[in-house]
Amino acid sequence: MQIVVAGLSHKTAELALREKLSLFSQEEIARKIKDSPIADVVFLSTCNRFEVYACGFKDGADGPEVLLRFFEGLIGKNPDKEDLYLYSGLEAVEHLLKVASGLDSLVVGETEILGQVKEAYEWAKKEGFTGKIGNILFQRALFVGKKVRSETGISVGQTSVASVAVELAQSIFGRLSESSVLVLGAGQMAELMVRHLSSQKTQKIMVSNRTRDRAETLAQNFKASVLPWENRAEALQEVDIVLASTGAPEAVLTKEMVEKSLKNRRGRSLFMVDIAMPRDIEEAVHTLEHVYLYRLEDLEHIVAKNLEGRASEIQKAKEIIDSKTAEMDEWLKALKEGRELSFKHSNRPKMRRIEASQNKGVVNEK
């Protein structure tokens, strides 16, 4: 009964090494684990980390040693000390809670990792890898991951320019399924933003570029339609979101054009994002009612502030993690003595309640 984690992440290892590990399929790794003395185990493989959490070892094998050898087998050579980290006991518990809470992520507080932990655990459970301690440990980790995100501001605010733009669009229109998008220019940045927007099931995307071919390429990727360049001003009447990133030397949307389109918009807001340099959209349109123009530096400013905000919440998150680690410690000690404690806020009913309320929220919001 010894909790050990070994792994490598974006903080310790080079991309090349992480990629090498991520090439293994789940089944391959599962087979390798079965062949090793590792028991009660969950392994987590994402593009940023590869970790093996083990809570027991067959025949009283030495945990850290076993895991080191396991990684050696995967990588094919003795892993560098700097690449690999190894925690055991409470440190391992704390590490898992941190990972689940997004404290160990590249972007602090990102939410994807929680889903990845959940998937990894559920897969391991389904395949019969987990035992009693592993089950409790991971259920606690998922619970703490949710708790930290709901009780601290660690996941508040988007952290990339494109996602900030999408979030702003949502702050203006709510769900974007009734909103159309007009994309001016067909550069890389535009593509990134369109990818984010189309993941929100926008109603319609139109691409307009001075050279039609590039517009068509972009349009094909996103099931968008191509709009002739000279029709861009009329299109303002029907779209809600405008993304501008052309290389034009002067503004391609003037205040006059926007003002004219407003007459037929019946007061619906118009969200314009200008990431071009020099600018594509006249700054003066921001003074018009119902028009919100964000420039690249505005978005970057928000990203910087959001990151700052998340960083300032790390301490609060750590406090929660500390107290939950201590709870886990007590539970493990009691288990050693043959007793089984129930957690003060037993995770199961509570998780169910959180999930229930979230589900309800989803149903209501749809």
d(CA 111, CA 155): 7
Q: Is the peptide bond before 37 cis (omega within 30 degrees of 0)?
A: no
Residue 284 vs residues 235, 265, 289, 301: alpha-carbon distances, Å: 19, 19, 11, 20
- At closest approach, how far in Å is the CB of 263 from another protein? 9
Is residue 339 part of the contact set for another protein (CB under 8 A)?
no
d(CA 17, CA 10): 10
CB 95 within 8 A of CB 104: yes
Is residue 361 part of the contact set for another protein (CB under 8 A)?
yes
Nearer Cβ to another protein (81/366): 366
The single-letter code of the amino acid at 220 is: Q
Near another protein by CB under 8 A: residue from 77, 81, 223, 266: 266
Beta bridge partners of 184: 208, 244
Nearer Cβ to another protein (76/267): 267
3-state helix, strand, coil in the chain (%, to 5): 55, 15, 30
- Tell me how many degrees the CA angle 239-211-270 measures, rounded to the nearest 5: 15
d(CA 179, CA 158): 21
Rounded to a whole number, what is the distance in angstroms from the first to the last CA of the chain? 46
Is residue 174 part of the contact set for another protein (CB under 8 A)?
yes
Nearer Cβ to another protein (174/247): 174
Nearer Cβ to another protein (13/302): 302
Query: In the sheet where 291-295 sits, what is the strand order?
Result: 225-226, 204-208, 180-184, 241-244, 270-274, 291-295
Of 207, 198, 208, the residue nearest 177 (C-alpha): 198
Nearer Cβ to another protein (135/269): 269
Is residue 173 part of the contact set for another protein (CB under 8 A)?
yes
Near another protein by CB under 8 A: residue from 125, 255, 265, 318: 265
Is residue 238 part of the contact set for another protein (CB under 8 A)?
yes
Is residue 188 part of the contact set for another protein (CB under 8 A)?
no
Contacts for 265 with CB less than 8 Å, ≥ 6 apart = 237, 290
Nearer Cβ to another protein (8/291): 291
SS (HEC) of 220-263: HHCCCEECCHHHHHHHCCCCCEEEECCCCCCCCECHHHHHHHHC
Give the active site residue among 1, 47, 334, 341.
47
Is residue 304 part of the contact set for another protein (CB under 8 A)?
no
- At closest approach, how far in Å is the CB of 117 from another protein? 21
- At closest approach, how far in Å is the CB of 266 from another protein? 3
Active site residue 55: no
d(CA 274, CA 282): 9
Is residue 346 part of the contact set for another protein (CB under 8 A)?
no
Alpha-carbon dihedral sign for residues 353, 356, 362, 365 = negative
- At closest approach, how far in Å is the CB of 157 from another protein? 6
Nearer Cβ to another protein (92/168): 168
Is residue 157 part of the contact set for another protein (CB under 8 A)?
yes
* Segment near another protein (CB under 8 A); pick from 10-18, 107-115, 283-291, 317-325: 283-291
Near another protein by CB under 8 A: residue from 61, 86, 172, 235: 172
Which residues within the stretch 192-221 sit at the binding site for another protein (CB under 8 A)? 203-204
Is residue 307 part of the contact set for another protein (CB under 8 A)?
no
- At closest approach, how far in Å is the CB of 105 from another protein? 19
Near another protein by CB under 8 A: residue from 20, 118, 268, 318: 268
Q: Supply the residues annotated as catalytic.
A: 47
Q: Which residues bind another protein (CB under 8 A)?
A: 150-151, 153, 156-157, 167-168, 170-175, 177-178, 180, 203-204, 238, 265-269, 286, 289-290, 292, 294, 298, 301-302, 305, 309, 357, 360-361, 364-366
